[in-house]
Amino acid sequence: MRRAAAFACAGIGVTLGVALLLGRTSLATAEGPELAQPLDLVAAEQLYQDNCAACHGAALEGQPDWRSPGPDGILPAPPHDASGHTWHHSDAMLFDYTRLGGREAMAREGLDFNSGMPGFEDVLSDAEIRAILAYIKSTWPERQRAAQAERDAAERAAEQAGGQ
């Protein structure tokens, strides 16, 4: 009986070890209100390509002249690489903006903003949105990742302090 239990434990250990070695891109986690889940950056990049690249660019470069409104008054899609401003925003803001769409996310903040960003709540699950955001963040240089993480932590702390 002990021998069978030892073999079972060894089998589980080998299986986990192989899974970790084969899935090295799955070692990152997507953070959010839900429990952290393993994140496959390859799959997350594909979600980005399938759902975001048409507007924000396959290389996260955004649309040309993204800081100037078009004739309709709407700003073109900004880049999500380090040259853009995505890293200037908290995780919660980025999540809400993606899930609800720009206009609705800003309206919930009391702002009237004519955004061209559609909401993806009927297209992507919350976990898929978090995965896409994690992929985008994974492409930033350390300076931008650190600045965004610091901003995010400060916003979370302010929310917690305000809620007590």
- The hierarchical CATH code for the domain 27-162 is 1.10.760.10
Three-class SS state of 149: helix
pLDDT of 14 > 90? The answer is: no
pLDDT at 37: 52
- 30 DSSP β-pair partners: 37
Percent of the chain with pLDDT strictly greater than 70: 76
pLDDT at 29: 40
* Beta strands per DSSP E along the chain: 28-30, 37-39
Residues 69-83 pLDDT 10s: 999 999 999 999 999
Give pTM, 2 decimals: 0.75
> Domains of the chain: which residue ranges?
27-162
Q: How many CB atoms lie within 10 A of CB 104?
A: 17
Return d(Cα 80, Cα 83) in angstroms, integer.
7
| 24 compared with 55, residue with greater pLDDT | 55
Copy the structure tokens of residue 152: 């995010």
Return d(Cα 16, Cα 121) in angstroms, integer.
34
Return d(Cα 93, Cα 105) in angstroms, integer.
8
pLDDT band, residue 114 (cuts 50/70/90): confident
Copy the structure tokens of residue 52: 């975001």
pLDDT of 156 > 90? The answer is: yes
pLDDT at 164: 60
pLDDT of 117 > 70? The answer is: yes
**Burial of 26 (C-beta count, 10 Å sphere; 0-12/13-18/19+):** middle
Rg, Å, the chain Cα set: 20
Residues 29-55 pLDDT 10s: 444 444 345 679 999 999 999 999 999
Query: Sign (positive/negative) of CA torsion 3, 20, 33, 125?
Result: negative
Average pLDDT over residues 128-134: 97
pLDDT band, residue 130 (cuts 50/70/90): very high
